[in-house]
A and B are shown apart, each in its own frame.
Chain A
């Protein structure tokens, strides 16, 4: 039975899955010690390689479906992936060198892919999607086995990373045996398309690079104060008046393309519609949504957060989120809830009256919680789950909508921890209260500094906070955030990669994989590989033809430190 929108009662099932993964991780940890030749990023759970090498010829190698696989050629997600990975592995060289003659040794002619359970070819990836796989590289036929297509995608990436060109240019792979699954199920990148618009093409490129790093969530912070690029069908005025210009919008078709492009790479799109703060751009297209600020007895002409006291606010939001829940297939919607400024609310006489009537006193956190509760209820009513920034948890009163003792039985949101001060303490508090956590605090990649800051991102352990085993299980993963104040298409890629790769490995690999020297060596290779891939291909369409295109300069150098390649 296909469920859309896990209700929170099913959270325990998710936890069981996480526990199972943890056990698996424990079993294989002994093998995680890195072999010096490994070129893989992120490091798989268990890798065994032998010195025996196999050769591959571009003209003679195919990806195929195992006869016993539950997926076949009708699984377009896999067919697309086969073509993509064939190009990643051979594309560039084929054009430049032609195929090299095979010399002595065994040839690898096939990678046979086998999906064991219902493949989920035509579904969307979910937080509970099984990404595990085993890869057995032997001549002449290697095999990649996974429960679902999602594991196949991760395994294809690993397979492509195993292949290298030997001294004579022959495609070569060592006999290997890999068993792999992720440490955390939520491994995300946040992009911000409000402070600066990012073209669909830039988003596609980001999704490609995410797949190289086994990220599986694009957290799309799509609107904010400066602009509202999301084109709503129900409320077209929002983007018409709130976007930077008519060319700085995401049409319904753009959004569909992004979702499909991501799906084909096993990546979820989690949209964020942040409220009640960070909503200046909503006000342009939706009159009487924002709170009019007052200067003494007169409206000042400025507006504050969404007005939480009018019924019209909630009927608007209800319709709006109904649209969002159908446009975005993921079971989660991010509701924001961060940095609500109370000054404007406090200045407004109507809000003052409302506060008095509700008995909130002067405690605007209560008003904030009142609003958030209403929106959270709205989201569960449409069978979706919520993610919110940590303030929603921090500012909720102890007698409010959440309760430590019974929280596991009550619907409640995932809390995203983003404030860098004392973030481990925050993790302790949130998990103690029984809420799932996404960690972002140490991974704000828009904060730049001179030198190899990737080492700091890499050294973080998401479970380093004080808490019981039960609490640790509530950490479902993390996100690297690239806020857009100073980022647009001109500097997005170099600012994200390979710095976000450090987060990618931290969230995928076993916790004991943390040696900096080995990480540096592998990340160096990985960066060059990403350069090669992104130079090689850029996607021209989502649903069909991917055309090979070469850019005018493709330099296989890398800048996270001085080095020779």
Chain B
């Protein structure tokens, strides 16, 4: 393939150009040279190009300019340098941003175009993008291109970049039920996600352990289901803040309310919602999944998801559907009677399917799309063709690549997470294994490949809270970020190691508690405040 030869030569050229090796994730096309331009912090500006559809007042970019200014130069004031006549020709005083399509106040979506071109040469210093979201990605790249000499002077090399993501859904899952994460932890994570060009925050808000989401329709859910209803909750204001903070960084918030399993914490606040388990002919006092045999259940879900649909602006909701335990359903005489009435026999998958279908109908009626865990597909629940299936099981019922093949062959869109459970830790540089996963390494037609919309790194919370979240996430999640953004052929581990180690030091410089990849040091080490 002619294209690949060209691409490799570009990659080599870039590798030797030194400073460009700081980029993470690696752009689709890049050409850099040794020619460099000085940047003076006191005079440098981000500027809207006169022809840009976005101009001053565009919240997304106005704020991004401030953020990146601060990231590049810090908040310290700089002295005016002595003018040094002949060097003036190689200065860059501004980056011009040209956005083609107007729109600064909407939310990013699965269809958002994130392409951009960045040109730094003698004639111009220009960031061109279709949308503001592409401009955000380009600003991040620009910030990674600027480097500093030992004497403290800022430089950028002559560079030409054309960039776009390989997959449109590049997500990170946080679990705020097993351990509560303070708002600041979530917001900080969104910042680092943006540095890695992630664009979906999958918020696994509630689960068996606790219900921190404060519902205004059913306030008892948090009052009785959170770890501490005063401190360990997300108020409506918190949720709004997360959504807006994410939007300003081009990140979608995909909220998950997992049912019918993983719902123990819902029980105290909504009596009658969960299935009472039986021990022989008596209730045992424990509860199982959501009770699918009662009309009340669906009335509740209908009201609850009406709220959720309005609170979370993204087109998609995540409805869970994983790991439904049938033993409690089996033990309950009412459920048994319901099964008989419906003619389900002993097949509890049919009961699960019954529940999920009713739930999907409710949610579709609110004009939402949905993502579900793979069990919904495995258990042959009839779902609408536009459902997104998230593949998370490594081995069962089949190897995850086989599962990807099956899901896409059935015509569903797929998200890959199975090899990217970052809560699972092992000794050593496990990022390499994470990095080398190829999401399309299954047998399938080009049409099937096109149904893979991306993947997610998952940080489940059994052993994670704000004390260890950040070092466990970064830079390991960066490996997933590059896999989902960069060209399929960017798989050289030495090249990745050099850049990721460099990027980790850059994260430290930006105040992120990112753990080391191997023996070594960074000029600016992490200091606990």
Which residues of A are at the interface with B, using a C-beta cutoff of 8 A?
Answer: 195-197, 199, 201-202, 205, 226-227, 244-245, 247-248, 446-452, 484-491, 493-495, 531, 538, 551-553, 555, 557-565
Contact = CB atoms under 8 A, between A and B. Distances in A.
Contacts of B517: 486
A392 B462 CA distance: 42
Contacts of A452: 463
A493 B184 CA distance: 20
A449 B185 contact: no
30 contacts: A196-B516, A199-B525, A201-B527, A205-B528, A226-B519, A226-B520, A247-B523, A448-B426, A486-B518, A487-B515, A489-B525, A490-B470, A490-B508, A490-B513, A490-B514, A490-B515, A491-B513, A491-B516, A531-B467, A538-B528, A551-B529, A557-B180, A557-B466, A558-B465, A558-B467, A561-B462, A562-B178, A562-B462, A564-B227, A565-B228
B465 A491 contact: no
Contact of B521 (A248, A491, A553): A248
Nearest to A564: B227
Interface string B415-432: 000000001111111000
Nearest to A225: B519
A486 B515 CA distance: 7
B466 A450 contact: no
A491 B210 CA distance: 27
Contacts of A449: 425-427
Contact of A564 (B209, B423, B521): B209
Given A551-B529, A557-B179, A559-B464, A196 B520 contact: yes
Given A494-B468, A553-B466, A559-B461, 5 more contacts: A450-B423, A491-B515, A562-B461, A563-B209, A565-B228
Given A245-B521, A491-B471, A555 B516 contact: no
A491 B468 contact: yes
B298 interface: no
A494 B185 contact: no
Residue among A451, A488, A531 with most chain B CB within 10 A: A488
B526 interface: yes
Interface of B: 178-180, 182, 184-185, 209-210, 227-228, 232, 423-429, 461-468, 470-472, 508, 513-521, 523, 525-529
A555 B466 CA distance: 8
B428 A561 contact: no
Contacts of A448: 425-427
Given A555-B465, A559-B464, A494 B471 contact: yes
A202 B465 CA distance: 20
A489 B210 contact: no
- Looking at B185, B462, B467, B520, the one whose CB has the most chain A CB atoms below 10 A away is B467
Contact of A493 (B463, B466, B467, B518): B467
A138 B526 CA distance: 46
A553 B471 CA distance: 16
B99 to A, nearest CB: 35
A353 B185 CA distance: 63
Contacts of B428: 485-486
A494 B529 CA distance: 15
Nearest to A226: B519
A484 B521 CA distance: 11
Contacts of A450: 423-426, 463
Nearest to B468: A494
B223 to A, nearest CB: 14
Given A490-B513, A491-B468, A245 B463 contact: no
Contacts of A564: 209-210, 227-228
B106 to A, nearest CB: 32
A565 B227 CA distance: 7
A449 B519 CA distance: 20
Contacts of B508: 490
Contacts of B527: 199, 201, 489
A450 B472 CA distance: 12
Contacts of B180: 555, 557
Contact of A555 (B178, B182, B514, B525): B182
Given A490-B513, A553-B184, A558-B465, A196 B519 contact: yes
B427 A447 contact: yes
Contacts of A201: 527-528
A490 B510 CA distance: 13
Given A491-B471, A491-B515, A557 B465 contact: yes
Contact of A446 (B427, B466, B472, B518): B427
B518 A559 contact: no
Contacts of B468: 491, 494-495, 559
A552 B184 contact: yes
Contacts of B466: 553, 555, 557
Contacts of A558: 179, 465, 467
Nearest to B504: A490
A553 B182 contact: yes
Which of B424, B462, B519, B523 neighbours the largest number of chain A CB atoms within 10 Å of its CB?
Answer: B519
10 closest residue pairs by CB, A with B: A494-B468, A491-B471, A244-B521, A559-B465, A562-B178, A491-B515, A490-B513, A564-B227, A195-B519, A490-B526
Nearest to B462: A562
A490 B515 CA distance: 5
Q: Which one of B461, B472, B528 has the highest number of Cβ atoms from chain A below 10 Å of its Cβ?
A: B528
A450 B528 CA distance: 26
A406 B523 CA distance: 52
B425 A488 contact: no
A488 B427 CA distance: 15
Contacts of B185: 553
A246 to B, nearest CB: 11
B192 to A, nearest CB: 13
A3 B38 CA distance: 64
Nearest to A556: B231
Contacts of B467: 493-494, 531, 555, 557-559
Contacts of A199: 525, 527
B435 to A, nearest CB: 16
A563 B210 CA distance: 9
A559 B423 CA distance: 12
A451 B463 contact: yes
A227 B209 CA distance: 45
